[in-house]
């Protein structure tokens, strides 16, 4: 089944994800942790594009792609990270 998933991911799902406005790069890595198989990361063009991307019809389509695989997936987590800007000077009080 993993080979079928790989084909689906590369040929169907990834092109749908890359059509989402604001996504400029995609990364995926196989994890060896207990119960985790893959981590996918998507780089956005800027912070303002996140909300537009999440509510786009293209994102809806990419989410619907998963319906075929839902019964085979134990857990899907979506997390959004932003780059840190310059930090103010840290003053140590000791």
Query: For the segment 10-63, what is each residue's pLDDT rounded down to a tens digit?
Result: 999 999 999 999 999 999 888 776 766 788 889 999 988 999 999 999 999 999
Domain assignment present for 82: no
pLDDT for residue 83:
75
pLDDT for residue 45:
92
Query: For the segment 59-75, what is each residue's pLDDT rounded down to a tens digit?
Result: 999 999 888 888 888 77
Domain assignment present for 89: no
pTM of the model: 0.76
Domain assignment present for 43: yes
pLDDT for residue 89:
66
Domain assignment present for 17: yes
Higher pLDDT, 87 or 20: 20
Q: How far is CA 19 from CA 9, 38, 45, 62, in A?
A: 14, 21, 13, 9
Domain assignment present for 90: no
Q: Which CATH number fits the domain that encloses residue 64? A: 3.30.70.100
* 55: containing domain: 2-72
């Amino acid at each position: 089944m993993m080979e079928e998933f790989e084909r689906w991911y590369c040929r169907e799902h990834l092109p749908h994800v890359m059509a989402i406005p604001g996504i400029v790069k995609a990364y995926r890595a196989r994890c060896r942790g207990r119960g985790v198989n893959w981590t996918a990361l998507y780089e956005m063009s800027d912070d303002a594009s996140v909300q537009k991307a999440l509510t786009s019809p293209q994102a809806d389509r990419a989410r619907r792609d998963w319906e075929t695989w839902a019964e085979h997936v134990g857990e899907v987590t979506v997390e959004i990270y932003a780059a840190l800007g310059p930090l103010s000077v840290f003053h140590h009080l000791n």
